[in-house]
Amino acid sequence: MKRIPVLLDLNRLPDDIRPIAEGAPAFDSSCSKEARVVYLEKEGGLFLKSAPKGALEREAVMTRFFYNKGMAAEVLHYSSQEQDWLLTRRVPGEDCIHANYLADPKRLCDTTATLLRKLHEVDPAGCPVPDHTAGYLATAEQNNRTGLFDTHLFTPEWNFSGREEAWQHLQAHKHLLQTDTLLHGDYCLPNIILDDWRFSGFIDLDHGGIGDRHVDVFWGIWTLYFNFGTDAYRERFLDAYGRDVLQPELLRVIAAAECFG
């Protein structure tokens, strides 16, 4: 996690957050243009995220749900005014792109695969996003209408010759997707926190909900491909996760949907 010292404008913070942030060393640790993340060196570490109004609502409710299951950070504050603010406690440890974890790719592959299987066995009852699949497909449909199409991140096995092939593949097979499993929704190495190889928690849960397990499996394989520059860990990941509940052909359906994501 990068940490660049910054000065916070306390006057812009919500009233509940201002006294917490006052006097705390602050470091920018943002990793996207969509949201700003500031690490506050106080009370064991706090993360303050800000984004456009409404952008952090789903992350807040899903993080609370995962926290109650012992799998995420504690949410200390969420508000939506001119913009959204989300304050959470730091999860002990480091994310999985830390050098110590990347140095042992086979162990990292096995660890993230088995953690994902454990997540998918958690009872999803009471999840505040009960139908991830419907929203997932609706997003693909909307982006197809607006012309969004991108395959440059995918491995050759999951690639498509063009937009029409990907769309037809998704339309022909989308009925196979289930809505029965608690998902992270963005199961990538930076969103998995380990403490000396022991699971500590998940972060960035804004795409979580009850959906089809193959969404997370797809991203679990992809993140290894992206970070190591090879597709060599695909089969190992599937073995460690457990093939008994998988339909490998659905991974290509997910790839088709993600072309429009």
Span 134-148, average pLDDT: 96
What pLDDT, on the 0 to 100 scale, is given for residue 18? 94
What pLDDT, on the 0 to 100 scale, is given for residue 1? 62
Residue type present at position 132: H
| Core vs surface per residue 128-167: b (16+ CB within 10 A) or e | ebeebbeebbeebeebbeeeebebeebeeebebeebeebb
Domain boundary among 62, 89, 116: 89
- Residue 4 pLDDT level (bands cut at 50, 70, 90): confident
Q: Provide the CATH number for the domain around residue 113.
A: 3.90.1200.10
Range of the domain at 106: 94-258
- Residue 2 pLDDT level (bands cut at 50, 70, 90): low
Span 202-230, average pLDDT: 97
Same domain, 130 and 189: yes
Q: Which residues contact 12 (CB under 8 A, 6 or more apart)?
A: none
Domain boundary among 89, 115, 144: 89
Span 31-39, average pLDDT: 87
Total domains, the chain = 2
Helix (H) or strand (E) holding 60: helix 57-68
Whether the Cβ atoms of residue 96 and residue 189 lie closer than 8 Å to each other: yes
Lowest mean pLDDT among 28-42, 65-79, 221-235: 28-42
What pLDDT, on the 0 to 100 scale, is given for residue 153? 66
Same domain, 84 and 162: no
DSSP letter string over 68-118?
HTTSBPPEEEEEESSEEEEEEEPPSSEETTSHHHHT-HHHHHHHHHHHHHH
Same domain, 82 and 103: no
- % of the chain with per-residue pLDDT over 90: 87
In the predicted structure, residue 47 carries a pLDDT above the cut 90:
yes
Q: Provide the CATH number for the domain around residue 49.
A: 3.30.200.20
Domain boundary among 33, 59, 89: 89
Same domain, 152 and 222: yes
Q: Is there a catalytic annotation at residue 84?
A: no
In 3D, which of 68, 100, 63 has the Cα closest to residue 185? 63
pLDDT in tens, 183-197: 999 999 999 999 999
Residue of 84, 95, 186, 212 marked catalytic:
186
Span 13-36, average pLDDT: 90
What pLDDT, on the 0 to 100 scale, is given for residue 5? 86
Span 9-30, average pLDDT: 92
- Residue 251 pLDDT level (bands cut at 50, 70, 90): very high
